[in-house]
């Protein structure tokens, strides 16, 4: 098991290097991406561009540049400096991380609780009115893009422009430490919008998976033992969860992509909006930093999922 | 119908005219179609029949386990005087796994793959006894020892996949015995197991039955298993009991042509290698549209024209009131047919010997 974890971690590092290499090619090798040219202002003299190239180390041969670039990222955790604010990318991201973590964690909890909960009730009451409504709603939630769903929510419920002024609208985010209640209420809509798609997919998967496991022989055994129906369902759910765990890592990546959009729609000062702004202004070091951060997060999450799978299903033991 | 010793002794389980139907897209499936039987304390009833004869549905219904599949049930299932058909779910739950326990055909799929064997046993104990987890665990280890699993204190923490097929069935039996039930229903308990393991499991059930004084209903398609275990045997066909008798009587003097068919399709070590087995022709009938008259008539070599019209009732055999048969042939005719078959005749030769037209001729207009 330990060897498996170490191997997975090494593969994770390799994946990160590949991501970094792709970013390098995108921003330095392809002609549109010459950072010196981007920094030199409008219609620069070639001499100025040359000077900046030397200052940024761009005049060295590409392999040397790549080596320096990797060293900076992996040894010094230095992702460079923003072309616009001149702040270090690391501090920019660190500043923006708390809102994003608030958003992602809350949406993650909502995703799991709502997805599993709705799926379980639907599986146990198949073809009931509840089931039809829930599965119909899930279809809508899967089909609706976040930016549209976000705008609809703002239009309906935000306290400034909403039809029903129930919740604080866009730009109302405050940090947890300054005002916990306001933090919570300002995130309710973003959480729902971000979690909706993933929760809907999981509700449908859970419904299918639990419907199958509730037909298994061991469920009959559980009933024959005289267990209360609550425990019988627990037996079914325990077995139904496993096939969904492997999908968790994949959905997580989609959730991160969604966070960029949700932070933009709701004007939350997080990493997602940072990357959106960076993309708009071609602030390559910032884009690079946020992409690497997201890649690392997805890789680590998938390793955690695979390891936890071994604990959830004793028949699977990695060697 | 009485099966067993004194008629004054009240049976532990008495099933009266049980009918179980399932609704399907093609119509109602009459899985059990008017079945009655009794089981007395400490005795063993064997229910024998082909797949789809309704024997499993019968016993699942006893525990109320067909309720979840949307079955329509009528008739009565009296267990110690309570009618299990109409008993509310929570009262029935208190009986399941407590007074009546059941073990199933496939011990691998019947154990939850993701819970430890011990945890599943502990659950069974605690479903009916208000004991601590530690006490229940002690009981689980004791039960595993009782069913012959060596080093039970260690194996109690294993997962089912770490057990062999025979051990899993032992674990299932341990789970069934957790609360010392009065009645154990064993549904094809050895079908999924190797032959050598089969004998061990049957011996185990017999030993435990003696030690705990349980009644046992053993459901099987294997007459060998029934012969080994049962005091009384009921033969089921297409949702009905067609013959019932003491085990000795059923093997010595079977009355129903379907029972003959079952007996004649068993390979025998003492028979000549060249002697062919005699399979029962055809396949079990549809339970949605069962055949008219005697349900067995389309496959019966001895069927006469009016057997497609008249539905035989289960009636006592003249000289043995403990044996019942549902067959339209005259008793004397049946016995001569069985004699002829015993002498090595084919069904056609036997029919000719008793002076009846064979199935084909009987079907043709005279």
Token pair recorded at residue B331: 């008793």
A221 contacts B111? CB cut-off 8 A: yes
The answer to whether residue A229 is domain-embedded is: yes
pLDDT score at B325: 93
Do A50 and A100 have their domain in common? Answer: no
pLDDT score at B272: 64
What is the Cα–Cα distance from A54 to A41, expressed in whole angstroms?
16
pLDDT score at A225: 93
What is the Cα–Cα distance from A182 to B328, expressed in whole angstroms?
85
Does residue B355 carry a pLDDT above 50? yes
Compute, in degrees rounded to 10, the torsion defined by CA atoms B261, B262, B265, B269.
-130
The answer to whether residue A89 is domain-embedded is: no
Number of domains in chain B: 1
Phi-psi region of B37 (alpha: psi -120 to 50; beta: other; left: phi over 0): beta
The answer to whether residue B97 is domain-embedded is: no
Do A70 and A210 have their domain in common? Answer: no
The answer to whether residue B156 is domain-embedded is: no
What is the pTM assigned to this prediction? 0.82
pLDDT score at A33: 61
pLDDT score at B151: 93
Do A59 and A163 have their domain in common? Answer: no
The answer to whether residue A81 is domain-embedded is: no
B63 contacts A225? CB cut-off 8 A: no
pLDDT score at A265: 93
Do A100 and A60 have their domain in common? Answer: no
Does residue B29 carry a pLDDT above 60? yes
pLDDT score at B323: 93
What is the Cα–Cα distance from A193 to A268, expressed in whole angstroms?
13
Q: What are phi and psi of B42, to 5 degrees?
A: 75, -5
What 3-state DSSP class applies to A158? strand
ipTM of the complex: 0.85
pLDDT tens-digit series, residues B242-262: 999 999 999 989 999 999 988
CA angle A201, A205, A207 (to 5 degrees): 120
CB-nearest partner of B110 from A218, A228, A231: A218
pLDDT tens-digit series, residues B110-149: 999 999 999 999 999 999 999 999 999 999 999 999 998 9
The answer to whether residue B229 is domain-embedded is: yes
Measured CB to CB, residues of chain B less than 8 Å from chain A are 60, 63, 65, 68, 93-98, 101-102, 104, 106, 109-115, 123-124, 127-128, 159, 161, 172, 175, 178
Alpha-carbon Rg for chain B, nearest whole angstrom, is 22
Residue in chain A closest to B111 (alpha carbons) equals A218
Q: Which domain holds residue A162?
A: 95-312
Number of domains in chain A: 2
For range B91-95, the mean pLDDT: 93
pLDDT score at B4: 45
Do A103 and A72 have their domain in common? Answer: no
CA A254 → CA A134, A195, A266, distances in Å? 22, 10, 18
A28 DSSP 8-state letter: I
Do A221 and A134 have their domain in common? Answer: yes
Q: Which domain holds residue B75?
A: 10-91+183-191+214-268
pLDDT score at A217: 93
pLDDT tens-digit series, residues B34-87: 999 999 999 999 999 888 888 889 989 999 888 878 889 999 999 998 999 999
The answer to whether residue A198 is domain-embedded is: yes
B112 contacts A222? CB cut-off 8 A: yes
pLDDT score at B280: 82
B216 DSSP 8-state letter: E
Q: What is the DSSP string of A54-67?
A: HHTTTTS-HHHHHH
Q: Model confidence at B305, in pLDDT bands (50, 70, 90)? A: confident
Residues in chain A with pLDDT values less than 50: none
pLDDT score at A81: 84
What is the Cα–Cα distance from A194 to A2, expressed in whole angstroms?
35
CB-nearest partner of B93 from A228, A239, A242: A228
What is the Cα–Cα distance from A271 to A13, expressed in whole angstroms?
22
Report the CATH number that the domain containing residue A198 is assigned in CATH: 1.10.3720.10
pLDDT tens-digit series, residues B157-194: 999 999 998 999 999 999 999 999 999 999 999 888 88
Do A184 and A276 have their domain in common? Answer: yes
The answer to whether residue B314 is domain-embedded is: no
Do A114 and A69 have their domain in common? Answer: no
pLDDT score at B193: 84
Mean pLDDT is lowest, of A75-84, A172-181, B319-328, B331-340, for A75-84
What is the Cα–Cα distance from A310 to A301, expressed in whole angstroms?
15
What 3-state DSSP class applies to B174? helix
The answer to whether residue B49 is domain-embedded is: yes
A235 contacts B93? CB cut-off 8 A: no
The answer to whether residue A10 is domain-embedded is: yes
Using a CB-CB distance cutoff of 8 angstroms, which residues of chain B are in contact with residue A225? 96-97, 123-124, 127, 175, 178
pLDDT score at B2: 44
The answer to whether residue A90 is domain-embedded is: no
pLDDT score at A78: 84
Does residue B285 carry a pLDDT above 90? no
What is the Cα–Cα distance from B92 to B124, expressed in whole angstroms?
15
What is the Cα–Cα distance from B362 to A78, expressed in whole angstroms?
98
CA A190 → CA A135, A155, A187, A250, A269, distances in Å? 22, 13, 5, 21, 13
Report the CATH number that the domain containing residue B24 is assigned in CATH: 3.40.50.300
Pairing of strands B44-48, B215-220: parallel
pLDDT score at A32: 62
pLDDT score at B6: 47
pLDDT score at B3: 47
User: To the nearest whole number, what is the mean pLDDT of chain B?
Assistant: 88
Full 3-state SS string of A179-205: CHHHHHHHHHHHHHHHHHHHHHHHHHH
pLDDT tens-digit series, residues B223-235: 888 998 999 999 9
User: Using CB atoms within 10 A of its CB, is residue B223 exposed (0-12), middle (13-18) or buried (19+)?
Assistant: buried
A247 vs chain B: nearest CA distance in angstroms?
19
Which runs of consecutive H residues, i.e. helices, occur in chain B? 55-62, 89-95, 107-110, 117-126, 133-146, 152-155, 165-177, 195-212, 223-229, 247-252, 257-264, 331-342, 347-354, 359-363
Helix (H) or strand (E) holding A133: helix A129-143
Using a CB-CB distance cutoff of 8 angstroms, which residues of chain A are in contact with residue B95? 226
Domain endpoint, select from A76, A108, A139: A76
What is the Cα–Cα distance from B13 to B69, expressed in whole angstroms?
23
What is the Cα–Cα distance from A58 to A68, expressed in whole angstroms?
11
For range B90-100, the mean pLDDT: 93
pLDDT score at B271: 62
């Amino acid at each position: 098991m330990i060897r498996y974890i170490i191997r997975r971690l090494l593969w994770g590092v390799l994946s990160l290097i590949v991501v970094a290499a792709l970013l390098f090619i995108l921003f330095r090798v392809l002609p549109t991406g010459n950072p010196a040219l981007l920094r030199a202002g409008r219609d620069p003299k070639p001499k100025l561009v040359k000077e900046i190239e030397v200052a940024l180390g761009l005049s060295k041969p590409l392999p040397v540049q790549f080596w320096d670039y990797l060293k900076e990222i992996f040894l010094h955790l230095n992702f460079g400096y923003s072309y616009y604010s001149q702040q270090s990318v690391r501090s920019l991201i660190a500043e923006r991380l708390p809102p994003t973590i608030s958003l992602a964690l809350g949406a993650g909890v909502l995703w799991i609780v709502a997805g599993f909960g709705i799926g379980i009730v639907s599986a146990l009451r198949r073809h009931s009115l509840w089931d039809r409504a829930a599965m119909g709603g899930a279809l809508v939630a899967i089909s609706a893009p976040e930016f549209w769903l976000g705008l609809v929510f703002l239009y309906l419920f935000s306290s400034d422009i909403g039809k029903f002024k129930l919740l604080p609208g866009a730009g109302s985010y405050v940090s947890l430490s300054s005002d916990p209640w306001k933090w919570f209420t300002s995130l309710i809509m973003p959480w729902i919008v971000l979690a909706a798609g993933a929760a809907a997919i999981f509700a449908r998967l859970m419904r299918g998976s639990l419907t199958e496991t509730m037909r298994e022989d061991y469920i009959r055994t559980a009933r024959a033992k005289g267990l209360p129906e609550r425990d019988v369902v627990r037996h079914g759910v325990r077995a139904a969860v496993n096939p969904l765990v492997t999908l968790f890592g994949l959905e997580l990546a989609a959730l991160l992509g969604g966070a960029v959009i949700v932070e933009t729609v709701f004007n939350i000062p997080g990493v997602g909006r940072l990357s959106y702004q960076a993309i708009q202004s071609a602030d390559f070091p910032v884009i690079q930093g946020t992409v690497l951060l997201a890649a690392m997060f997805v890789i680590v999450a998938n390793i955690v999922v695979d390891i936890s799978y071994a604990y959830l299903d004793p028949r699977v033991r990695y060697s | 119908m009485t099966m067993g010793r004194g008629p004054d002794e009240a049976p532990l389980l008495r099933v009266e005219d049980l009918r179980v139907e399932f609704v399907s897209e093609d119509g109602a499936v009459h899985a059990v179609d008017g079945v009655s039987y009794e089981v007395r304390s400490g005795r063993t009833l064997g229910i024998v029949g082909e797949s789809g004869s309704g024997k499993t549905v019968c016993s699942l219904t006893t525990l109320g386990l067909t309720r979840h599949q949307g079955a329509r049930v009528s008739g009565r299932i009296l267990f110690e005087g309570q009618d299990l058909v109409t008993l509310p779910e929570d009262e029935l739950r208190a009986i399941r796994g407590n007074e009546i326990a059941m073990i199933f055909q496939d011990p691998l799929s019947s154990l939850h793959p993701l819970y430890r064997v011990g945890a599943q046993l502990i659950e069974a104990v605690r479903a009916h006894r208000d004991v601590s987890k530690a006490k229940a665990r002690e009981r689980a280890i004791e039960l595993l020892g009782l069913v012959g699993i060596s080093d039970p204190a260690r194996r109690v923490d294993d997962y089912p996949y770490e057990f062999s097929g025979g051990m899993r069935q032992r674990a299932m039996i341990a789970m069934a015995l957790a609360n010392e039930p009065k009645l154990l229903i064993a549904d094809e308990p050895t079908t999924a197991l190797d032959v050598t393991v089969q004998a061990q499991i049957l011996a185990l059930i017999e030993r435990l039955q003696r030690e705990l004084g349980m009644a046992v209903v053993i459901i099987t398609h294997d007459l060998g298993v029934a012969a080994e275990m049962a005091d009384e045997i009921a033969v089921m066909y297409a949702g009905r009991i067609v013959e019932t008798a003491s085990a000795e009587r059923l093997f010595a003097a079977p009355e129903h042509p379907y029972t003959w068919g079952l007996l004649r399709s068993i390979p025998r070590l003492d028979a000549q290698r060249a002697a062919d087995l005699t399979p029962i022709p055809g396949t079990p009938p549809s339970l949605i549209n069962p055949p008219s008259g005697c349900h067995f008539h389309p496959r019966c070599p001895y069927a006469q024209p009016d057997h497609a019209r008249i539905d035989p009732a289960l009636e006592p055999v003249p000289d043995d009131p403990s044996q019942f048969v549902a067959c339209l042939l005259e008793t004397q005719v049946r016995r001569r047919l069985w004699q002829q078959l015993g002498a090595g005749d084919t069904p056609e030769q036997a029919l000719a010997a008793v002076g009846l037209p064979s199935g084909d001729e009987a079907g043709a207009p005279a």
